[in-house]
Structure 1
């Protein structure tokens, strides 16, 4: 059960009625996670950012954008906060507090996520769901976050991996990169239009997490944490989709 690290008080019942009680898990300075920005690897059609209107490079200065665009590009996430400089403000906040940042890895597990495209829409939906829930995949996520909110970060990532996004603004679609095989997207509009998702930026607390180790190390270098990243020597887990592919090969189709 995820804990609440961001509310100083919780509400409980007593004979006198509802009352506020101190939250033993409260972390000062920790906020509820709502807004998460996707980062995608560079590709030939990579623009400064997928932000609407006249927002130049998502609100970044030319100097900062020239650094960040080497590692990926930003994808607009349909929330007005992104249009008012939330992304560069978060990077600035992380830069100013770089001494509190920690680089580490976290192993997570979750069910596969099947993309909505011509291939998967052709399967019988109940059989496809049975395959999805039958398989549990594991992978390593690479984290760059303030050390004092690590419990909240880990709870958030574990909750996302298990598909429990009740407290997160939807659609986060975070499972698509970690537990969706690249070859499942072949031929889809998304696969043709976008580069691969490589990481995410959380805007409420200012932390990042990545499915791509190289991108994680690049951002560690940006924030001066290269040596910390080198300490992460645990075995790196990568999801194995082979058994799921075998089940998909025999999955009944709608026209059968």
Structure 2
């Protein structure tokens, strides 16, 4: 527990500084974090093909550069070319490597690089980005914290016995309620401080908190399923007491896209 607390004391200020600064700082940070996350994913699934992994890392970097350079209108072409190159690599390395390597590289790319990119897309909105970026972490971390403490004290009914025996239905409900309250409270604060000028725009914060918490918990369970399938306790050890990048960001990966689309369709 002491190691976990020390890691949090170091990591949280760094996270806050990067999110506050945004721009190139966040862009570089996300590229690095996503590369580490893909490395952890590839290692967990024991991908043998070094060429395929390298192509995955290169695809990751190119993908983020397209977002940074505002070339997202060409992403469909990028995904098509990326898939084509992976298949060409498969042909030239056959039969040394299996087709599952390509599938895992693609899944790793979309699971880590693509889903994490929504953090950047939320933050870079010029109107609400600097304020709504915090909502991703308020919902995910708030849900996790409320679920943990209520689950430890009152949890009796198992939520997902085969995936995460310690998680309870009571903790899950507490996470949803807690994240909803925190999200709405944050919306009210933004309204009162003038960052949101229309009170009706507080309504989406209710759904962001509730549904975001559900997605956050599913993200956590999805990561648990991957780890159990590969018989590992953590994806990595880069954060002592917390595990790897994917262990810490598993809920963020599912929450960020949801916050982005709610922001895009109901708040902007």
Relative to its length, the structure with more strand (as a share) is 1
Relative to its length, the structure with more helix (as a share) is 2
| TM-based fold match above 0.5 | no
User: TM-score, length-normalised on structure 2?
Assistant: 0.25
> Highest relative contact order (Cα 8 Å, sep 6+), 1 or 2?
1
